[in-house]
Amino acid sequence: MEFGFTEEDEAFRAEVREWLSVHADGTQDRRTWERTLGKSGWIGLGWSESGYGNRTATLTQQVVWAEEYARSGAPPRSGHIGEKLLAPTLLAHGTDEQKARFLPPVAAGEELWCQGYSEPGAGSDLAGVRTRAARAGDGTYRISGQKIWTSLAHEADWCFVLARTDPEARRHHGLTFLLVPMDQPGRIEVRPIRQMTGTSDFNEVFFDGAHARAEHVVGGEGQGWRVAMSLLGFERGVSTLAQQVGFAQELSAVLRSAVRTGAVADPVVRALLVRQWAELRTMRWNALRTLGGSRDAGAASVAKLLWAGWHQRLGELAMLVRGARATVGPGDWSPSAPYELDAQQQLFLFSRADTIYGGSDQVQRTIIAERVLGLPREPKGVV
């Protein structure tokens, strides 16, 4: 099962490859790179005739762009949260004024966003959000609470925050979706979280009376759960296929390592390598099957279970084929560089979190059980 790319799609592919070969040189910082993408019209391809993106592209052309971008080795995106999550949410639930204010700067790569969902006591259980947003006398909201695992919060200009506006409401009731400016010294503090890899891709964000304007409530007060669930549905799609291009590149690197170390002579290792290859092909076919179709209540959960476990097993295999050398860093230890890792060591350590973030495996299985198989809902409050 593959897409039948048309002549127009292949012409589009040639244009994409040529542009990336010239511009994706890796010398620009991430914010400058977003502006470069925006200036050339590559942000907002999936906004489909909204009038706010740079150019329109068919679904197959969006796949072409995502896959070629992954293959090119272009810099990681800083603007994908605004482009892939906020923008579709505003197009579905935002007012005309909100769309006109926020979508053009995203399309231009001028404003970066982060996602204020998870909390220390409400990670996979999003309905347990405790961050409060109280209406002030001037009509604005004052937000107090903590968010965690907030990707790119240290770079973001804005954050879309799920907060509780009705403290008496339980669970998913009484939540509101707010657009909050991050430049509020003394009211918003961002603290990077150091990970096992030695990097800090995630952050804690503390809100202490942070301001949000009433006209920046999306979907209406108390309707945050509906908007938040809609946004989560946008997290998968064309990007899944691009993700798999990156996975294929990582698998190729592990295979080369197995050949180099001689581990490929082990029949068990060969079987594991073949399994990884076959499962990656299966994931691609599943992504193509569900792409652009009607929303399946369990499709996103199935996809998350498939790729998270696959990627974690790949990290383990990357260490297995290297044997004892996997425990040694690429450079000599020194006080100035005490924690250096190569790409496969980074893969192994970072992938330990794959089955937790974005909804843990346990949560995904519960969603499938309840919403697809129709099994009884899990009892609440049971330890």
Give pLDDT tens digits for 230-239: 877 665 556 7
pLDDT value of position 235: 56
Which residue has 């476990």 as its token pair? 309
The token pair at 322 is 């290297």
pTM over cut 0.95:
no
- Please state the separation of Cα 351 from the chain's center in Å: 14
Sequence-separated (6 or more) residues with CB below 8 Å from residue 31 = 78, 109, 112, 155
pLDDT value of position 383: 41
Q: In this model, does residue 368 exceed pLDDT 50?
A: yes
Ranking 112-121, 212-221, 252-261, 355-364 by mean pLDDT, the lowest is 355-364
Q: Give the pLDDT confidence of 152-210 residue by residue, as tens digits.
A: 999 999 999 999 998 887 787 899 999 999 999 999 999 999 888 888 888 999 999 99
Q: Give the pLDDT confidence of 305-337 residue by residue, as tens digits.
A: 999 999 999 999 999 999 999 988 888 878 877
Q: Give the pLDDT confidence of 33-58 residue by residue, as tens digits.
A: 999 999 999 999 988 767 787 788 88
Confidence of residue 382 (pLDDT cuts 50, 70, 90): very low
Q: In this model, does residue 347 exceed pLDDT 90?
A: yes
CA nearest to 178, candidates 195, 190, 193, 161: 161
Residue 104 · residue 135 · CB < 8 Å: no
Phi, psi (rounded to 5 degrees) for 275:
-60, -45
pLDDT value of position 163: 95
> Could you tell me whether strands 113-116 and 158-164 are parallel, antiparallel, or unpaired per DSSP bridges?
parallel
Is the model more confident about 282 or about 297?
282
Residues with active-site annotation: 235
Report d(CA 142, CA 298) in Å as an integer: 36
pLDDT value of position 233: 66
- Please state the separation of Cα 234 from the chain's center in Å: 10
Which residue has 């005309």 as its token pair? 96
Rg (CA), the chain: 22
With vertex at residue 1, the alpha carbon angle to CA 298 and CA 272, rounded to the nearest 5 degrees, is 75
Share of the chain above pLDDT 70, in %: 93
The token pair at 274 is 């073949």
- Helices 59-72 & 7-23 angle (0-180, nearest 10): 30
Q: Give the pLDDT confidence of 89-123 residue by residue, as tens digits.
A: 999 999 999 999 999 999 999 999 999 998 997 76
The token pair at 328 is 């040694």
Q: In this model, does residue 269 exceed pLDDT 70?
A: yes
Tell me the β-bridge partners of 189.
Answer: 206
One-letter-per-residue 3-state SS of the chain: CCCCCCHHHHHHHHHHHHHHHHHCCCCCCHHHHHHHHHHCCCCCHHHCCCCCCCCCCCHHHHHHHHHHHHHHCCCCCCCHHHHHHHHHHHHHHCCHHHHHHHHHHHHCCCCCEEEECCECCECCCHHHCCCEEEECCCCCEEEEEEECCCCCCCCCCEEEEEEECCCCCCCCCCEEEEEEECCCCCCEEEEEECCCCCCCCEEEEEEEEEEECHHHEECCCCEHHHHHHHHHCCCCCHHHHHHHHHHHHHHHHHHHHHHHHCHHHCHHHHHHHHHHHHHHHHHHHHHHHHCCCCCCCCHHHHHHHHHHHHHHHHHHHHHHCCHHHHHCCCCCCECCECCCCCHHHHHHHHHHHCCCCCCCHHHHHHHHHHHHCCCCCCCCCCC
pLDDT value of position 17: 96
Q: What's the mean pLDDT when you consider all of the chain?
A: 88
Q: In this model, does residue 1 exceed pLDDT 70?
A: no
Confidence of residue 372 (pLDDT cuts 50, 70, 90): confident
Report d(CA 96, CA 263) in Å as an integer: 59
Q: In this model, does residue 286 exceed pLDDT 90?
A: no
pLDDT value of position 330: 86
